[in-house]
Structure 1
Amino acid sequence: MQANPVPSVFIVDDDHEMARAVKMLFRLLRFDGSVFHSARELASHMLAAPSLPDLLVVDMSMPEVNGMDVVKWIRSSKRFKNLPIIVLSAEIHPELVNDAIAAGANAYLFKPVLLEDLEAAVKRALGKTLH
């Protein structure tokens, strides 16, 4: 019997400390995480990558290209459009949450993220249980 492969997540956050913390939370959820510090870095990697992650986590507030633009880009792409997306933000504005969900985000979480909240959002986004 073959073991299930380790799920992967791409984390996009310009804040290096926050990206590291989110990656550690995903490690606790038994995900293999890759960190990108800008939307451009993510796009370059995804366009060249032979395979996609199981999940994308993107910070809403980033310089140059923000999280909302990333969600819209992913959803407009034939190759990436079904990729589950969780948006993270320190900004607690209902209109931002609504806009992100309307643009195609599967979940919107506020920073700092608690492990329980992240796990619940991941389960919903992936439509399955973890572990």
Structure 2
Amino acid sequence: MKKILIVEDDIYSQDLMRKIFRKDFETDICSSSEEYHEKYSDKKYCVMIIDVSIKGRKNGLEFIKEIRGITSTKNTPIICLTAHAQTKMREMALDSGADLFITKPVLNKTLKEAITYLIMRT
């Protein structure tokens, strides 16, 4: 089963995404870049979903930049997920290295289609 990483600090959103993906993917969920490095940095993911507003020393955009600088994850597809729908935020996310920018709330179908698209593209 393919693995996805979800970096999201809202517990409700974590539970919702876990339920959405449980049939199709093995999901690892963390709430910060620090937690990722402690628990999941040695794993390979087919897609990462990273929220802009996460706990810890780095926000989601800074974490995306970091991921793009690591040899083992630099080509992993990343979806930037956020409640911030401003055009500038979209530009910042894509400039940070995100492959797709999706605003919350998002339909389950839309999120699954985005993941399928990124997997097929790689």
Displacement, 1:120? 2.1
Taking structure 1 as the reference length, the TM-score comes to: 0.83
**If you compute each CA radius of gyration, which structure gives the higher value, 1 or 2?**
1
Counterpart amino acid of 1:52? K
CA contact (8 A) 2:62 2:96 kept: no
Question: Identity across aligned pairs (percent)?
Answer: 27
Displacement, 1:78? 1.2
Q: Which runs of 5+ in 1 are unaligned?
A: 1-5
Q: CA RMSD in A?
A: 1.5
> Secondary structure at the residue paired with 2:6?
strand
Moved runs in structure 1, 4+ residues, more than 3 A? Answer: none
> 1:45-100: CA deviations, max 9, x gaps?
233x2x31211111111233111011100101112101111111011111111111
CA separation in 1, counterparts of 2:110 and 2:35?
A: 27
Q: Give the structure 2 partner of residue 98 of structure 1.
A: 91
Q: Which runs of 5+ in 2 are unaligned?
A: none
CA separation in 2, counterparts of 1:75 and 1:96?
A: 18
> Which structure 2 residues correspond to residues 42-81 of structure 1 after superposition, within 5 A?
42-47=36-41, 49=42, 51-63=43-55, 64-81=57-74
1:14 aligns with 2:9: yes
Displacement, 1:123? 2.1
CA separation in 1, counterparts of 2:99 and 2:65?
A: 12
CA separation in 2, counterparts of 1:61 and 1:37?
A: 10
